[in-house]
Amino acid sequence: MSADSREEALEALAASRWRVAAVLTVATLVAYLGFILLVAFNKPLMGQQIVPGLSIGILLGALVILTAWGLTGIYIVWANGKYDRALHQLRDGK
Amino acid sequence: MNPTTAAGTQLGQPNSTAIIFFLLFVAITLAITYWAARKTKTTSEFFAAGGGVSAVQNGFALAGDYMSAASFLGIAGLVATSGFDGLIYSVGWLVGWPVVTFLIAEPLRNLGKYTFADVVAYRLKQTPVRLSAAVGTLTVVSFYLIAQMVGAGNLIHLLFGLSYEMAVIIVGAVMILYVLFGGMIATTWVQIVKAVLLLAGASALAGAVLYKFGFNPLALFNAAATQYGPETLAPGKLVASPLEAISLGVALMFGTAGLPHILMRFYTVPDAKAARSSVFYATGLIGYFYLVTFILGFGASVLVGRQAITGVDKGGNMAAPMLAEVVGGTGFLGFISAVAFATILAVVAGLTLSGAAALSHDLWSSVVRKGKAPEHEQLKVARLASLFLGILAVILGVAFKGQNVAFMVGLAFAIAASANFPALLLSMAWKRFTTNGAVASMLTGSISAVMFIFLSPTVQVDLLGNASAPIPLKNPGIITIPLSFAVGILVSLMFPERESADRFAEVKHRMHVGAGKPTPPAPEAPASTAVGTPPTMPSPGKA
């Protein structure tokens, strides 16, 4: 690989990392702020019990925690796979 | 399932199990410190454990750094006394972690050495950037430390019946021993031991509670709803204004990504891949822990009773220990009390070490000595700084006795989110960021966050007793974070810095590819970054 094409490949890789990071950050924000906005604006809905003991609020709260972890998991899978492979190619292909 | 009365608790009595467990914890951690001290001969070992911490170890240590007594006792207490509203905090404290994973962990690992200022200052002028970064770091660390030390004094007073001052001095003295002699290696292991104990203690407690409800959490929640009405499971008064809720939310989210003691941990792993994996483990552990607080909180409100809890401590902080006594007797109460003590110790050690890094690495080595200080001098200054901060923490803890300092943790997060996070992100992602922009952004963030909180109802009404506050928002994040970004961008555009823009390519390369070793382009890549290396590797400093 020539220096120029390596530069371009790095550029593309950097851009794709920021893109994935931005999308996942926004997804986290949406999940969390959505939860908070429901808490603020629709208390009756959040208080509704789906089955005795499980209100929609508690369910969504637990889901936000699980989603947050799930999103980091998605990132890890992407970064350990696709991103690291491209990075190694870039680094080794001198 | 009769709720016990406050009079029936052993809380606050000298409890032999608690003392034995606590002494055991101190003995083990001091033994680790002794072992670590012999391995701590360079600043890299002192501040970054020589980069030899594995991803799993760092995951536990990050969780240990983050799960303070405030989250264990405070959130369990909030859920016990106000039901669902307490859960809003559980969720809020977790969601900062994905942001750390996506935006911060890897670039930080690849660009820096010991502090986040290394990253911000990478292509900018050292002195002004390091000075303003140290202001941000030290303000965050001080407020966080005050909150922890005062919390420690009160808690230990309640749990063990020790005097407040005595408790603060014990916490300070043991923490100084860890940091001063064992540096990051000891601090990391203290965090790991504490995280394991805390997770085990909380799990055992939750298991004992669920046992009484046929291992069905819904039966527990339902019992709480029967006893205190269905509104227990619904949002109450905590989130009165949506703006307030969002403001708190963004401060928690981006504050985590600006906490110096958390950021520092990413330098302890060998490479970016380990940094990335360690946050994944940490997020899982912390998320699990907050889910368990659901059980502990509702369990305490059903099995101990709200009146009994607030009868002992108005803030409800004793809910978890009291629950332990009800389900497991005095012995279990002792164990949980000792875990709470250990938790505080570990958190203050991490905070002190990150403050010491700002003082010695950013201020002394880079600003005063312009990077010319020899290794042995840097290490000496680092130790002096730790000692100084440890003693300062004790003095502050005693000075703020009896003050309501709960708002200081919120303040620390608000400053971290407004002062540290914007400059850190811009320095990694924006080519035209400049020295002036970074300084303006960090100072605007620190000063505006402190000012807004000073003018907020938290200080003006609750603390000073005024009728109203000039600024209605309790948490300033929604204003100060965008403000800090805007100032950083505007000032950078107004005063362009050619050199900084020119060096951005280098930053970008290093941020993704890593520092590499200063060896010639040998075919042999550093072992830790070679293809196919499992994420959790190097085990240099293990006993």
- pLDDT tens for chain B, 543 residues long, are 344 444 467 776 767 888 888 889 999 999 999 999 999 999 999 999 999 999 999 999 999 999 887 778 888 888 998 889 888 888 888 999 999 999 999 999 999 899 999 999 999 999 999 999 999 999 999 999 998 898 888 878 877 778 899 989 999 999 999 999 999 999 999 999 999 999 999 999 999 999 999 999 999 999 999 999 888 898 887 766 778 878 888 898 899 999 999 999 999 999 999 999 999 999 999 999 999 999 999 999 999 999 998 888 887 888 999 999 999 988 898 888 888 888 889 999 999 999 999 999 999 999 999 988 898 999 999 999 999 999 999 999 999 887 777 778 888 999 999 999 999 999 999 999 999 999 999 999 999 999 998 998 888 888 888 888 888 888 899 999 999 999 999 999 999 998 888 889 888 888 888 765 443 333 333 433 333 333 333 333 333
Q: What is the DSSP string of B402-466?
A: TS--HHHHHHHHHHIIIIIHHHHHHHHH-TT--HHHHHHHHHHHHHHHHHHHHTSHIIIIIIT--
Looking at CA atoms only, how far is residue A21 from chain B in angstroms? Answer: 5
- Taking the alpha carbons of B410, B412, B414, B417 in that order, is the dihedral positive or negative? negative
Closest by Cβ to A65, choosing from B220, B249, B290: B290
pLDDT tens per residue, range B304-329:
999 998 888 887 888 999 999 999 98
With beta carbons under 8 A apart, name residues in chain A contacting B283: 68-69, 72
Inter-chain touch A25–B218, beta carbons under 8 Å? no
Which contacts qualify for B5-10: CB closer than 8 Å, 24 or more apart? Answer: B5/B308, B6/B307, B6/B308, B6/B311, B6/B312, B9/B308, B9/B312, B9/B322, B9/B325, B10/B325, B10/B330, B10/B333
The pLDDT value given to residue B533: 35
The pLDDT value given to residue A1: 54
Looking at CA atoms only, how far is residue B240 from chain A in angstroms? Answer: 7
Inter-chain touch A53–B222, beta carbons under 8 Å? yes
Q: What Cα–Cα distance (Å) separates residue B341 from each residue in B289, B345, B412, B533?
A: 17, 6, 22, 38
Is the separation of the CB atoms in B164 and B154 below 8 Å? yes
Residue of A nearest to B95 (CA): A68
Q: B11-515 architecture in CATH?
A: Up-down Bundle (1.20)
pLDDT tens per residue, range B255-272:
999 999 999 999 999 999
Phi, psi of B374 (to 5 degrees): -70, 160
Contact map slice: B 78-97 vs A, CB within 8 A: 84, 87-88, 90-92, 94-95, 97
User: Whose CA is closest to B137, among B352, B432, B284?
Assistant: B352
Looking at CA atoms only, how far is residue B512 from chain A in angstroms? Answer: 7
Looking at CA atoms only, how far is residue B487 from chain A in angstroms? Answer: 22
With beta carbons under 8 A apart, name residues in chain B contacting A41: 242
Burial of B204 (0-12, 13-18, 19+ CB in 10 A): middle
Q: What is the pTM of this model?
A: 0.89
With beta carbons under 8 A apart, name residues in chain A contacting B103: 21, 25
Residue of A nearest to B508 (CA): A14
Contact map slice: B 266-305 vs A, CB within 8 A: 273, 276-277, 279-280, 283-284, 287, 290-291, 294
Q: How far apart are CA B535 and CA B542, in angstroms?
A: 17
Looking at CA atoms only, how far is residue A53 from chain B in angstroms? Answer: 4
Q: Coil, helix or strand for B474?
A: coil
Distance between alpha carbon B162 and the CA centroid of its chain, in Å?
A: 26
